[in-house]
Amino acid sequence: MAGGERVGRTVEVKLGARSYPVRIACGLLDRVGELLVEIAPCRRAVIITDDNVRALYAARLASSLAQAQIDSLVISVPPGESSKSLETLAHLYDEFARLHVRRDELVLALGGGVIGDLAGFAAATWLRGVRFVQVPTTVLSQVDSSVGGKVGINHPSGKNLIGSFYQPLLVVIDPDTLRTLPSAEVWSGLAEVIKYGFIADRSLYERVATDIRALAAEPGSSLWEEILARCCEIKATIVQSDERDLGLRHILNFGHTLGHALEAATGYNRLRHGEAVARGMVAALWLSHWLRAFPEEELEASLQVLEQFPRPELDDLVAREIVPHVAHDKKGTSAGQKWVLLDRIGSATVIQDPPAELVVQAAEKMLR
């Protein structure tokens, strides 16, 4: 068993009839079948994954299911954001029809955020809802996208414009799967990790800031299990208060407003999501300093942490050409755009439409 089996941790997402556990432990991938017998018994499961993850982990997951007398089938799609499309979704529907997938069976999402979003939306919409389990294998999906029930695909006019809220029955997080990630992918996920510290937990921020290079160098270490659990606890607490993203849940978008604009301006194919969010947090920290009196010493310390992240090449970009993409962000309302800022590390607030010139200045800081 990779990494050795440990007792691990459990985070409960409490949503009444839609409640579910998030189980976190090294070696847990080999026990998924056992967990399903306990939480979501079934005779057959469909594993949705991408071609890269299939080669690494699909056989282990299928073996775990077989040990629990659960038959499984694997549907694999190309890796990357391009698979979050109507075309790939239609392919999944065709496969579901061919395999006669029924509502009492299970869809398992094995992979990163793209697979979780795509498989979850397919499960939510096939037969008006097939039971669904998340088995995330990247930092970003383990700390963020697998918890909370947001599922969906992209539209040519923007990311995640087609989607729903559909909670899984179970989330299974095995930190050992992080060991096979490219370094750039680990750093991308760490942007979302430190985001949780910025918005909700100063001690988490300080822990990650202190150990960030060790975390990046040793994905899947014992320190990761603790960090992953704390991020999931914060996400669960926020989702429990605002499942449908109408209020408190907005704070999870710290760094994402200009981060998403940066992704859009570069055609969604130059930056990893976390790379864009890290730069977006630089902009949000400056706006926090200018508009919320975010302390200068905390600004300087926070910027120093973010400067440790690998820097994407952005020399050809112009701030005034990035900012207009904010208007197309899906979090906007008829009243304008919501921006998440900090009063201090560990305390976030949401404001409406900061002054346009300050946004441009913040975007300029982001690009430096």
Kindly report, residue by residue over 219-241, the tens digit of the pLDDT: 998 899 999 999 999 999 999 99
pLDDT at 332 over 80: no
Q: Report the distance separating Cα 27 and Cα 117, nearest Å.
A: 24
The pLDDT value given to residue 268: 85
Q: What is the DSSP letter of 336?
A: B
Answer whether 61's CB lies under 8 Å from 48's CB.
no
Q: Which helix (H) or strand (E) holds 351?
A: strand 347-352
Q: Report the distance separating Cα 6 and Cα 3, nearest Å.
A: 9
pLDDT at 191 over 80: yes
pLDDT at 281 over 80: yes
Q: Which helix (H) or strand (E) holds 161?
A: strand 158-165
pLDDT band at 156 (very low <50, low <70, confident <90, very high): confident
**Burial zone of 9 (CB within 10 Å; 0-12 exposed, 13-18 middle, 19+ buried):** middle
pLDDT at 6 over 50: yes
Mean pLDDT, residues 31-40: 97
In sequence order, what DSSP letters do the residues of 299-320 get, joined into one string? Answer: HHHHHHHHTTSPPP--TT--HH
Mean pLDDT, residues 69-88: 97
pLDDT band at 336 (very low <50, low <70, confident <90, very high): confident
Mean pLDDT, residues 246-260: 96
The pLDDT value given to residue 334: 57
The pLDDT value given to residue 3: 42
Mean pLDDT, residues 182-199: 98
pLDDT at 2 over 60: no
Q: Which helix (H) or strand (E) holds 234?
A: helix 222-241
Mean pLDDT, residues 52-79: 99
pLDDT at 4 over 50: no
- The β-bridge partners of 338 are 352
Q: Is 100 helix (H, G, I), strand (E, B) or coil?
A: coil
The pLDDT value given to residue 329: 72
pLDDT band at 250 (very low <50, low <70, confident <90, very high): very high
Q: Is 15 helix (H, G, I), strand (E, B) or coil?
A: coil
Q: Which of 136, 144, 180 is nearest to 3 (CA)?
A: 180
Name the average pLDDT for the chain.
95
Question: What are the structural domains, with CATH classification, of the chain?
Answer: 9-180 (3.40.50.1970), 183-218+254-367 (1.20.1090.10)
Mean pLDDT, residues 331-356: 90
pLDDT at 120 over 70: yes
The pLDDT value given to residue 343: 98
**Burial zone of 70 (CB within 10 Å; 0-12 exposed, 13-18 middle, 19+ buried):** buried
Q: Report the distance separating Cα 266 and Cα 360, nearest Å.
A: 17
Mean pLDDT, residues 80-108: 98
pLDDT at 333 over 80: no
- The β-bridge partners of 347 are 344
In the chain, % of residues over pLDDT 90: 91
